[in-house]
Amino acid sequence: MSRRTLLHRATVQEGLGVASRPHHSVLLDGERIVAVLPEAQAPLHDPDVDVLDLDGRTVMPGMTLGHTHIAYLNVLDGRETLFKHSIPEVTLGAAANAAAMLRLGYTAFVGAGSVAGIDMALRRAIDAGRLPGPRITPCSRDLMVSGPPQRRNPAVKQRIPTDLMRLADTPEELVEYVDTEVAQGAEIIKVFSTGDDTFPNGRSHELLFTAEELVIAARAAHERGVRIRAHSRGLGGIRNAIAAGVDVIDHATYADDAALEAIAERGIFVVPSLHQPHRLLTTGTAHGKTPEYLETLEFQAEVENTLRILPLMVEMGIPIVAGDDFGFAWTPHGRYAEELETYVSMAGIPAPTVLTWATANGARLAGRGGEAGTVQPGRLADLVVTDGDPARDITVLGRPEAIEMVLLGGRVVAGDAAAYRDRRPAGRGRLMRPATRARIGLTGSAGIGHNRWRRRFVRSGRPCEPNRRG
């Protein structure tokens, strides 16, 4: 028989872009949500239901990080993403990042370039129960070229170990590498339609893959049943990525209105980049970047255009997903919620809308759009319990202590369900929560958590002692 759990007296944030619903309960049966109902209708007296009294805490969908480099460990530039640490070191770091991500309410991530194929190995270990972590949509290693078409240099390929990154300067190599990555478990392929002002082989406005190479890569991915995402900052590369039929455009920082219209028409996901370049520009000197170096970047223009296009993308219905190059020194792993805060504070996007980027849209990008990402009957019970309503105050998600419990497929994987469990028999008073005891002046070593035979219960708002049980 599957287990049934009632998350009772909750504020429910459904992940649908609207305000949260107070005074509701969520009923789980095994790994699924079976009902979201007013708390007065909750099956409190069903002996087969484990009641967790949340006392107004918020239940929201587990979040998905849509652009994840799980093996980046406080790197400073593109070279360090490959060579700062040994493969054993980045593997251990990736495992630690994945476990911490789950504790912070991220129940899934979508890879965006997997150093040495760690995404695939980590997915297998987590699925087998050998390691704790979120659900993973693993990405290929970066499929890169040595430089823009006019500056291709075969010698570069000799300096990059193939197991770290795939450099493909011919169509045949592209198809071969897509084959290899899919065989190893990749479910999304990463390519580069443009460079990046921080890259050694091409700046943001420069093309890296040609339009024809993007078409070849996209066709190869789709023929093998996987998706493809393109790093695309400059407008020319964004247009090429759209025309090639990619599924995800990463960054899109120089997109114009016509490009956005084409993206909306095709239903392409966009994972924008605002937080990471903003953090680099404002805190880069604290991480060894000189003012002169920062002045060579055109990231301020990218930030300004991203601020312009974000409201337009919302208005056009473009599926936006959160996730912005965490793993750099200025955007370390574990600080994911700061990106959501940036969208609210800098771009003025309402918090309920931003939450959909991390929940409903993130689940769609991960390939579980009909399975997860919202608090609705039939969905996976990948859920987060927070002390505070993120739809009213997005900063709640940035306080680790406010992430009180995380469920993955209905199982508590972070936090302590016992803190909310109502152990009363039918008709008994309710176990008084520690916060309530403190508020009415009931403290001391005889209280809850100190002596299990001297629990205080509450009936009709007054403390009373239960019968002792030997």
Q: Tell me: the pLDDT tens digits for 191-203?
A: 999 998 888 788 8
Q: Which residues contact 46 (CB under 8 A, 6 or more apart)?
A: 4
Q: What is the distance, to the nearest Å, from the Cα of residue 60 to the centroid of all Cα atoms in its chain? A: 14
Residue 461 in this model has a pLDDT that exceeds 60: no
**In the prediction, which pLDDT does 464 show?**
38
* 207 φ/ψ angles, rounded to the nearest 5 degrees: -75, 140
**In the prediction, which pLDDT does 468 show?**
34
Q: Of 13-17, 163-167, 273-277, 341-345, which range is least confident?
A: 163-167
> What pTM did the predictor assign?
0.88
Choice between 37 and 435, residue whose per-residue pLDDT is larger:
37
Residue 82 in this model has a pLDDT that exceeds 90: no
Give the pair of three-digit tokens for residue 396. 């709640």
CA 340 – CA 324 distance, rounded (Å): 10
Rounded mean pLDDT, 447-452: 35
User: Distances from the Cα of 210 to the Cαs of 175, 214, 216, in angstroms?
Assistant: 15, 6, 10
**In the prediction, which pLDDT does 277 show?**
95
Q: Which pLDDT band, with edges at 50, 70 and 90, does 130 fall under?
A: very high
Q: Of 152-166, 182-196, 206-220, which range is least confident?
A: 152-166
Angle at 390 between CA 103 and CA 253, to 5 degrees: 85
For the chain, give me the number of helices (H) and strands (E)?
A: 15, 20
Residue 417 is classified by DSSP as G
Q: Which residues contact 414 (CB under 8 A, 6 or more apart)?
A: 102, 103, 403, 405, 406
Residue 102 in this model has a pLDDT that exceeds 70: yes
CA 150 – CA 171 distance, rounded (Å): 16
**In the prediction, which pLDDT does 47 show?**
92
Highest average pLDDT, of 82-91, 199-208, 262-271, comes from 262-271
Q: Return the number of other C-beta atoms located less than 10 Å from residue 283's C-beta.
A: 13
Residue 218 in this model has a pLDDT that exceeds 60: yes
Q: Among residues of the chain, what percentage have pLDDT more than 70?
A: 89
Rounded mean pLDDT, 230-241: 97
- Dihedral angle computed from the Cα positions of residues 90, 95, 98 and 103, in that order, rounded to the nearest 10 degrees: -130
Residue 79 in this model has a pLDDT that exceeds 90: no
- Identity of the amino acid at 167: L
**In the prediction, which pLDDT does 162 show?**
81
Average confidence score pLDDT of the chain: 89
